[in-house]
Chains A and B, each alone.
Chain A
Amino acid sequence: MDAPRNPILRVRNLEVNFETNDGTVRAVKGIDLDVFPGETVAIVGESGSGKSQATMGIMGLLAANGRATGSALYRDQELVGLSERKLNKVRGEKITMIFQEPMTSLDPLYRIGRQIAEPLVHHRGMSARAARARVIELLQLVGIPNPKKRIDSYPHEMSGGQRQRVMIAMALANDPDILIADEPTTALDVTIQAQILELLADLQKRLGMAIVFITHDLGIVRRIADRVYVMRLGKVVESGKTSEIFAQPNDPYTRMLLAAEPTGTKAPPPETAPALIEGRDICVVFRVGGGWLGGDPTEIRAVDGISVSLRQGQTIGIVGESGSGKSTLGRALLRLLPSEGEVRFEGRDISRLDRGELRPLRKRLQLVFQDPFGSLSPRMTVGQIVTEGLLVHEPELSGKDRDRRAVAALEEVGLDPAMRNRYPHEFSGGQRQRIAIARAIILKPKVLVLDEPTSALDRSVQKQIVDLLRDLQRQHGLSYFFISHDLAVVRAMSDYIIVMKDGKIVEEGPTETIFDRPEQPYTKTLMAAALEGTALHIG
Chain B
Amino acid sequence: MADTTTAIEPAAALAPVAGRSLWQDAWRRLRRNRAAIASAVVLLLMAFAGIAGPWFTPHPYDRIYPQYVRAPASLDAYPQEDTIIPQFVSALERARITIGEVEVDSSTVRAPVSDDKPLDPRIVRYVDRSDLFNNARLEDADGNPLAEGATSGVMVADVQRVRFYFGTDANGRDLLARILIGIRISLAIGVLASVMALVVGVAYGSIAGYVGGRLDNVMMRVVDILYSLPFIFFVILLVVFFGRNFVLIFIAIGCTEWLDMARIVRGQTLSLRRQEFVQAAEALGVGNRGILTRHIIPNTLGPVVVFVTLLVPKAILLESLLSFLGLGVQEPLTSLGLLISEGSDNMRSAPWLLIYPAVTLTAILFALNFLGDGLRDALDPKDR
Interface residues of chain A, those whose CB is within 8 Å of chain B, are 21, 46-49, 232-233, 256, 292, 334, 336, 358-360, 362-363, 365-367, 369-371, 374-383, 388-389, 391-393, 407, 411, 414-423, 425-426, 428-431, 434, 436, 439, 443, 457-458, 460-461, 464
User: In whole angstroms, how far apart are the Cα atoms of A422 and B20 in the complex?
Assistant: 6
In the complex, chain A residues whose CB is within 8 Å of the CB of B276: 369-371, 374-375
Report B268-292 CB contacts with A as 1/0, cut-off 8 Å: 0000000111011111111100100
In the complex, chain A residues whose CB is within 8 Å of the CB of B283: 334, 336, 362, 365-367
User: In whole angstroms, how far apart are the Cα atoms of A354 and B290 in the complex?
Assistant: 18
From the candidates A363, A429, A443, name the one contacting B3 in the complex (CB within 8 A). A429
B268: min CB distance to chain A, Å: 13
User: In whole angstroms, how far apart are the Cα atoms of A362 and B283 in the complex?
Assistant: 7
B17 touches A378 (CB 8 A): no
In the complex, chain A residues whose CB is within 8 Å of the CB of B217: 292
A48 touches B277 (CB 8 A): no
B17 touches A419 (CB 8 A): yes
A418 touches B17 (CB 8 A): yes
Within 8 A of A (CB), among B13-33: 13-23, 25, 28-29
B284: min CB distance to chain A, Å: 4
A383 touches B22 (CB 8 A): no
In the complex, chain A residues whose CB is within 8 Å of the CB of B279: 336, 367, 369, 375
User: In whole angstroms, how far apart are the Cα atoms of A381 and B18 in the complex?
Assistant: 10
* Between-chain CB contacts (< 8 Å), 26 pairs: A48-B1, A233-B2, A362-B283, A362-B284, A369-B279, A371-B276, A375-B279, A377-B295, A377-B299, A378-B277, A379-B299, A381-B21, A392-B286, A415-B8, A416-B8, A418-B17, A421-B16, A421-B17, A421-B19, A422-B18, A426-B20, A428-B1, A428-B3, A443-B284, A460-B4, A464-B7
* Extra pairs beyond A418-B13, A430-B3 (11, CB < 8 Å): A367-B279, A375-B275, A379-B23, A380-B295, A414-B8, A416-B8, A416-B11, A418-B15, A419-B17, A457-B3, A464-B6
A417 touches B284 (CB 8 A): no
- Tell yes or no: B149 within 8 A of A by CB: no
A124: min CB distance to chain B, Å: 34
Chain A: which residue is nearest B32 at the CB level?
A21
In the complex, chain A residues whose CB is within 8 Å of the CB of B295: 377, 380
- Tell yes or no: B230 within 8 A of A by CB: no
B294 touches A380 (CB 8 A): yes
In the complex, chain A residues whose CB is within 8 Å of the CB of B9: 416
B7 touches A378 (CB 8 A): no
In the complex, chain A residues whose CB is within 8 Å of the CB of B143: none
Q: Which of A334, A363, A366, A425 has the most CB of B within 10 A?
A: A425
From the candidates B7, B285, B290, name the one contacting A414 in the complex (CB within 8 A). B7
In the complex, chain A residues whose CB is within 8 Å of the CB of B6: 414-415, 428, 430-431, 434, 461, 464
A392 touches B11 (CB 8 A): no
Chain A: which residue is nearest B10 at the CB level?
A411
- Tell yes or no: B384 within 8 A of A by CB: yes
In the complex, chain A residues whose CB is within 8 Å of the CB of B280: 367, 369, 375-376, 436, 439
B25 touches A389 (CB 8 A): no
B285 touches A363 (CB 8 A): yes
In the complex, chain B residues whose CB is within 8 Å of the CB of A382: 19
B17 touches A422 (CB 8 A): yes
A438: min CB distance to chain B, Å: 12
Q: Which of B10, B279, B285, B294 has the most CB of A within 10 A?
A: B285
Chain A: which residue is nearest B296 at the CB level?
A377
In the complex, chain B residues whose CB is within 8 Å of the CB of A420: 16
In the complex, chain B residues whose CB is within 8 Å of the CB of A439: 280, 284
User: In whole angstroms, how far apart are the Cα atoms of A443 and B281 in the complex?
Assistant: 13
